[in-house]
Amino acid sequence: MIQTPYYLIDKSKLLQNMEKIAKLRELSGAKALLALKCFATWSVFDFMRDYMDGTTSSSLNEVRLGHERFGKETHAYSVAYADYEIDEVVSHADKIIFNTVGQLQRFEKQSSGIIRGLRLNPGVSSSTFDLADPARPFSRLGEWNVKEVEPVMDLISGFMIHNNCENGNFDLFDKMLGQIEGKFAPLLKKAEWVSLGGGIHFTGPDYPLEQFAERLKRFSGEFGVQVYLEPGEASITKSTTLEVTVLDKLYNGKNLVVVDSSIEAHMLDLLIYRENAKVSPNQGPHRYMVCGKSCLAGDIFGEFDFPNELNIGDRISIQDAAGYTMVKKNWFNGVKMPAIAIRELDGSLRTVREFSYTDYEQSLS
C-alpha cells in the first residue's frame, strides 16, 4: 500500500477522455493541445501524446515543459512576456500568441522566426463567476477592438479566443461562437488558424460530440482556418483521485474527521472557487465533515455520506483531483506533499514521485 497522501492517476479513466478527444479531432479536423496550466504531470505525457496534437502554455516554464516533455506542436501564450525571457520562449515554441498588440509590436523582431498570433477577447463568456470570467469588466485578457488589430494583420496569421469556462452546454457554446463570428468576421477571414481555447466540457458523458464536431468544422470551413482547442480540464476530468487517511475524529455538533492532507495545500482551486470536494458514491447513513490538517479554520473538503462509520486509519478517495490541483499544490504549513502514483492499464500501481523534507526546504531559502 502506498503511503498517503497521494494523487492517483488512473490511466484507464484518462483513456476515456483521450478517446473522445481523438474522436473529436477525427470528426472535426480540429487539433487539440493540452493546456499545461491545468495539468502538467508529465509522467503520463507519453500516454497522452498519441491522442493529442501538443501543448499550450502560459509561461516560459510551461512552454519549455511542453517542448521537452510532450513534444509535437508547442504553442506559447502569456499574459505578458518579459524582455529577459522572450528569446527562450521563442526557442521552445512553434507558435507564439501575444496578449496585446503592444506585446506583439514590442517583440516583433525576436518572434519573427515563428508563427505569430494574437489573443482576442469577444466580450462574452460562459462564466458568471468574475474570478474566472475572461470577459469581466476591464479585463486584461486579449484585444477587443477590430480597428486596433487590423493594422497589425501583416504580423500575425491567427488568433486565440478563450472565453468558455467549465461550459458543458453545447447550445451556449454555439451561441457564443456565433457572437464571435459576428464580431470578429473581418479578422477571422484573414486568419489561417484560430484557437478556441479551453473551458469546453466536451468529454463529459452527455455532451453532443458529433454536433460539436460539426459546428467546429463549419466554423473552420466558413473562415478557411485550422481550428485548435486547448482542453485542460476536459483532458483529465475524473481521471485522478487524492488518496488520504483519517488521522483524528471529533464531535463538535457534527461528526468531523481530520485527514493527512489539506484542501488549501493540495486542492487549492476548490477553496478559491468555494466548492466542495467530491467523494463517491457519497451515500450511506454516516455523515462526516472531512477536514484538512492545516491550521486554516476553513480547511474543509466538504460533508459527505459514508456507508460505514469512519475510524482512524481509514482511507478516503477524494474524486476528480487532476485539474488545477497538482499544478497548484504548495507547502502551506509544511504539510506533507502528496506523492504522485499511476494506475496502469493492467491495474498495477506505480509511484512516480515522492516529495521529501529537502523539497520543502529547497522551496525556500
Ligand X SMILES: Cc1ncc(COP(=O)(O)O)c(C=O)c1O
Smallest distance, ligand X to C-beta of residue 185, A: 22
Smallest distance, ligand X to C-beta of residue 37, A: 6
Instruction: Extract the C-alpha cell encoding 229.
Output: 482547442
CB closer to ligand X out of 56 and 111: 56
Among candidates 3, 63, 1, 70, which has minimal Cα distance to 37?
63
Smallest distance, ligand X to C-beta of residue 58, A: 7
- Footprint on residues 149-168 left by ligand X (CB under 6 A): 162
Smallest distance, ligand X to C-beta of residue 123, A: 16
Q: How crowded is residue 131: how many other Cβ atoms within 10 Å of its Cβ?
A: 10
Size of the site for ligand X (CB under 6 A): 12
State the binding string over 217-256 for ligand X (x if CB under 6 A, else -).
Answer: -------------xxxxx----------------------
CB closer to ligand X out of 135 and 234: 234
CB closer to ligand X out of 229 and 335: 229
- CA torsion through residues 336, 342, 343, 349, sign: negative
Among candidates 259, 198, 202, which has minimal Cα distance to 37?
198
Range in contact with ligand X (rule: CB under 6 A) among 32-40, 179-187, 273-281, 352-360: 32-40
CB closer to ligand X out of 167 and 261: 167
CB closer to ligand X out of 256 and 327: 327
Smallest distance, ligand X to C-beta of residue 194, A: 13
Q: Are 294 and 262 in contact (CB under 8 A)?
A: yes
Residues 6+ apart with CB under 8 A from 236: 14, 17, 38, 39, 322, 323
Smallest distance, ligand X to C-beta of residue 198, A: 3
Smallest distance, ligand X to C-beta of residue 334, A: 29
- Footprint on residues 167-206 left by ligand X (CB under 6 A): 197-199
Q: Are 172 and 128 in contact (CB under 8 A)?
A: no
CB closer to ligand X out of 4 and 126: 126
Smallest distance, ligand X to C-beta of residue 64, A: 18
> Is residue 95 part of the contact set for ligand X (CB under 6 A)?
no
CB closer to ligand X out of 8 and 234: 234
Q: Are 252 and 303 in contact (CB under 8 A)?
A: no
The residue behind cell 527562450 is 88
Instruction: Extract the C-alpha cell encoding 290.
Output: 472531512
Q: How crowded is residue 275: how many other Cβ atoms within 10 Å of its Cβ?
A: 12
Smallest distance, ligand X to C-beta of residue 241, A: 18
CB closer to ligand X out of 5 and 323: 323
CB closer to ligand X out of 165 and 341: 165
Range in contact with ligand X (rule: CB under 6 A) among 23-31, 35-43, 176-184, 217-225: 35-43
DSSP string, 56-67: E-SSHHHHHHII
Range in contact with ligand X (rule: CB under 6 A) among 18-26, 34-42, 107-115, 247-255: 34-42
CB closer to ligand X out of 35 and 341: 35
Residues 6+ apart with CB under 8 A from 231: 21, 32, 33, 34, 35, 198, 200, 202, 203
- Interior CA angle at 33 toward 352 and 325, to 5°? 45
* Interatomic CA distance for residues 239 and 15, integer angstroms: 8
| 173-207 core/surface letters (b: 16 or more CB in 10 A; e: else) | beebbeebeebbeebbebbebbbbbbbbbbbeeeb
Grouping H, G, I as helix, E, B as strand and the rest as coil, residue 194 is: strand
Residues engaged in binding ligand X (CB under 6 A): 35, 37-38, 162, 197-199, 230-234
